[in-house]
Amino acid sequence: MERLKDQVALITGGGRGIGAEIAKQVAQQGATVVLIARTAEQLQATAELIRQYGGTAFWFSADVSDMSAMREAVQKTLGIADRIDILVNNAGFIRSYAPIAQSDPDEWWHTLEGNLKGMYNTIRLVLPTMLEQGSGQIVNILSVAGMRAFNGLSAYSCAKSAGLMLTRVLAKEVRKQGIRVSAVLPGAVDTAIWGEESAIDRSKMIRPESVAQTVLHILTLPPDATVDEVLILPQEGIL
């Protein structure tokens, strides 16, 4: 049974990692998947893999923090089926990793603004369509760093904490208009965000597929229920 048949899902940061795994699982449930990220090669590879397994996938290269580029990407998405049923805000990055006293102001603000602005831009552009439809689901992939303090992650943590409040306000504003809004806050996930080397044992991290399964569960809930927020940690807790 394809539980998302005939739905259109827009996924940012969809070229690799958590976003790519969400795209694969959503496509397996019958949704048409539209991937957005900056790196065309990764987007193309993920879309081709989805198609190989019988799914339907499109991709558009765009920086989510660029409102003009995202407006074009959303318009192209609407051109595919004239609707957007699912939005997964997954795009994110870390440029500033240092104690506040030694942080670079430009990198700090770039990390904060890039993560938060991208989420806001995509929501702002997709929301009018969902409101007109009277239905839709928005899942914002945040981080445990938006709830717990970690040394050296002040910019990223502030972005994710602000993203959590944005999610809460949005849910309050649109839940009576047929739109479900959820926040997913993973702990350490084994993705490229850690770079080539990590002080944490990556074998103990959450697999991207596990986060994707959680998102799929949220998206396929019966219409009488919604998940406001879910925290996903590695089996051993905070690593």
156 assigned to active site: yes
- Residue of 53, 97, 120, 156 with catalytic role: 156
Beta bridge partners of 34: 10, 58
Give the whole-angstrom CA distance, residue 34 versus residue 92. Answer: 17
Asked if residues 119 and 137 have their Cβ atoms less than 8 Å apart, the reply is no
Q: Which residue has the tokens 């739905």?
A: 7
Asked if residues 115 and 64 have their Cβ atoms less than 8 Å apart, the reply is no
The HSE-up count of residue 3 (CA atoms within 13 Å, CB side) is 11
Neighbour count for residue 134 (Cβ, 10 Å): 9
Instruction: Output the furthest CA–CA distance in the chain (Å, rounded).
Output: 54
Residues tagged active-site = 156
